Amino acid sequence: MIINEILLTLLIGYMLGNIQTSYFMGRLLKQIDIREHGSGNAGASNAVMVLGWKPGLIAGLIDMGKAAVAVLLVRALFPSNAALPYLAGSGAIFGHIYPFYLGLHGGKGVASLMGMFFGLNPWWGLLCLGTLILMALLTDYIEGGSLFIFAAFPFITWLLGLPLYCILFAALLAAICFYKHRGNIHRIINKTEVTISAEWHKQKKS
């Protein structure tokens, strides 16, 4: 039955998404809970701030990889249903944001969204990554790219002709993303959020 396939797909995606790379690296490298430092989440961007560029890059690649693996695994299990790999990637994003063993307090899901699209189609992944970078540069905020991509997520799902349950789940994830970024949005409105250009000039001086 399709409902059983959907539930198994979501479980696979969610469990893979629960691999909290930044959290484990924080424990391993500095014996800290990374969620108590920096921006307060277990995402790759916070790993960069707290642990450094190399650990942050590794965390980002693994966070992308786990969503891509979810897509590819479900595609191999259910090759006749094109919607299920998409749903698996969405489940991985949800698992990254709300890991059950960390009190539902994980990352923000941006890297996992990138990984999902790379798993579905490498060209989609490159387009998604390029759009994120472009919007970040245009807005001068890293969050500008993240918010734009997540806002577009349900519309992309709809344009791909995927079932309603995929569209609704994408819309839910977009809403969660904006909620998780509410502090950043507030600081952007108040012009207190650190800009890309300001950080670039800071790095050049140091």
The pLDDT of residue 1 is above 70: no
Neighbour tally for 46: CB within 10 Å: 23
pLDDT computed for residue 202 by the predictor: 63
Q: What pTM did the predictor assign? A: 0.92
pLDDT tier, 195 (very low <50, low <70, confident <90, very high otherwise): confident
pLDDT tier, 90 (very low <50, low <70, confident <90, very high otherwise): very high
Q: DSSP string covering 48-107, please?
A: HHHH-HHHHHHHHHHHHHHHHHHHHHHHHH-TT-THHHHHHHHHHHHHHHS-GGGTT---
pLDDT computed for residue 39 by the predictor: 80
SS3 144: helix
pLDDT computed for residue 53 by the predictor: 85
| Rounded CA separation 124/160 (Å) | 12
| Rounded CA separation 109/196 (Å) | 20
The pLDDT of residue 60 is above 80: yes
Q: What is the mean pLDDT of the segment spanning 190-199?
A: 81
Q: Which residue has the tokens 């891509």?
A: 68
Tell me how many degrees the CA angle 16-2-121 measures, rounded to the nearest 5: 50
Task: Choose between 46 and 95: higher pLDDT.
Answer: 95
Q: What is the mean pLDDT of the segment spanning 173-186?
A: 92
Q: What is the mean pLDDT of the segment spanning 56-63?
A: 94
Percent of residues, the chain, with pLDDT higher than 70: 96
Segment 3-50, tens digit of pLDDT: 899 999 999 999 999 999 999 999 999 999 999 998 888 988 888 888
pLDDT computed for residue 150 by the predictor: 95
SS3 187: helix
Q: What is the mean pLDDT of the segment spanning 134-151?
A: 92
The pLDDT of residue 203 is above 70: no
Tell me how many degrees the CA angle 138-50-40 measures, rounded to the nearest 5: 80
pLDDT computed for residue 206 by the predictor: 57
